[in-house]
Amino acid sequence: MNAATIPVNTGNTGFMLLCASLVMLMTPGLAFFYGGLVQRKNVLTIMMQSFMSLGWTTVLWFAFGYSESFGPDWHGIIGNPATYALLRGVTLHTMFTGNDAGIPLVVHIAYQMMFAIITPALITGAFANRVTFKAYFWFLTAWLIFVYFPFVHMLWSPNGILAKWGCLDFAGGLVVHASAGFAALASVLYVGRRHVIDNKPHNVPLIALGTGLLWFGWYGFNAGSELRVDSVTASAFLNTDIAASFAAITWLLVEWARGRQPKFVGLLTGAVAGLATITPCAGYVSPTTAVIVGVAAGVVCYYAVALKNLLGWDDALDVWGVHGAGGFLGIVLLGVFASTAWNPNGADGLLRGNPAFLGKQFVAALVCSAWAFSFTYAMLWLINLVTRVKVDEVAEQQGLDAHLHGEEAYPLGI
């Protein structure tokens, strides 16, 4: 349909603006979540990294990021960065033509920008307490350009190579969570262990606040990915809550059985794992399937974190175990349980007689996770040639808040 023939649908437009606002709220939510998990002397550093993404990613998105993600195609891998550079040619009357939802293009630009903001912020939990701010700045910039923007184009642009092949990712299990999770693992392996390891959260209520904001914002993340209001939007909304709830309880029960005590932080972490795992499936599966996804997320992500601990990987805030394993798991489970009965524009998975779709989902998850891992590792090596990536032991002992930024979250020791 030609953009000139699509009238503005005020209902869909209002809904998508609300969803964009919800997804924006997730980044401050992540800052609180991570802030509560780290030591008192590193709270501001980890929170600043999230808010830095909120600002700098917006600059890059405006300059060329949206164009690289959704501009005219180059071999199905990346969009032309010049087409919408500085939002050239975008006017009040330019309509989004990806469907007939009747939303202005500026709404789609704003909504997708919020996804771009939170994705690299997720990675920061892996190298918490030990990376210089200058190195993080370079990391944030390069990772968006060479990992996130291409993944968006390959999966969510109509001409993307994975989209044309038949792969599906409703709201970012691969684009957001698996890519961030495996980049986090590469960061952990390159940067190495902390000199000062203290994994005891300094403020559990802050973690709970962050989880609540993430959970609330995730409704815009998943339900909004339908880009309109219809029955699929509603099922994605319900599936999001079901999976998060079942994952939270499953994680709690597994941890309780192994450790003899029910842990609040475990309950909260399980909820986030469920949210990450249902993300690629949310608009393509039934609520019953969402229960299975939630239970699987609670078990698999819990043991992924246990494996990380066993292997001695210093993923400080369990980004790989929760987001990497969860996102990868969700993409594969979508290949098993996808049903056109719940989304006619989706696909049928293994259980509905289409094993080829499961194969495509697995290959896509494997290739993209491998690229995110290998590029991140190489990129950090290159950054370290320009500016030191890891802080020294003195900085870790003092705390990065005071050493790098000259600020303290609790200056009076309160």
- Residue 414 pLDDT exceeds 80: no
Burial 370-389 (b: 16+ CB within 10 A, else e): ebbbebbeebbeebbeeeeb
Domain 7-405 has CATH 1.20.1050.10: no
pLDDT given for residue 413 in this prediction: 54
pLDDT given for residue 197 in this prediction: 82
- Residue 260 pLDDT exceeds 90: no
Tell me the average pLDDT across 9-33: 98
The predicted-structure confidence for 106-133, as pLDDT tens digits, reads as follows 999 999 999 999 999 999 999 999 999 9
Q: Which amino acid is at 22?
A: L
Please provide the average confidence, as pLDDT, over all residues in the chain: 95
CA 65 to chain centre: 17
pLDDT given for residue 288 in this prediction: 98
Structure tokens at 33: 């979540």
pLDDT given for residue 1 in this prediction: 45
Of 94-108, 241-255, 400-414, the range with the highest mean pLDDT is 241-255
Query: Running DSSP on this structure, what letter comes out for residue 94?
Result: P
Question: Can you count the helices (H) and strands (E) in the chain?
Answer: 17, 2
pLDDT given for residue 54 in this prediction: 97
The predicted-structure confidence for 144-199, as pLDDT tens digits, reads as follows 999 999 999 999 999 999 999 999 999 999 999 999 999 999 999 999 999 878 88
The predicted-structure confidence for 288-321, as pLDDT tens digits, reads as follows 999 999 999 999 999 999 999 999 999 999 999 9
pLDDT given for residue 2 in this prediction: 52
Tell me the average pLDDT across 343-356: 97
**Cα within 13 Å of Cα(342), Cβ side:** 24
Query: Running DSSP on this structure, what letter comes out for residue 346?
Result: S
- Global pTM reads 0.95
Question: Alpha-carbon distance 284 to 228, whole Å?
Answer: 15
Sketch the domain layout of the chain as residue ranges. Answer: 7-405
- Residue 3 pLDDT exceeds 70: no
Cα torsion at 225, 230, 235, 240 (round to 10°)?
Answer: 30
The predicted-structure confidence for 370-396, as pLDDT tens digits, reads as follows 999 999 999 999 999 999 999 999 999
Q: How far is CA 353 from CA 169, 196, 348, in A?
A: 20, 52, 7
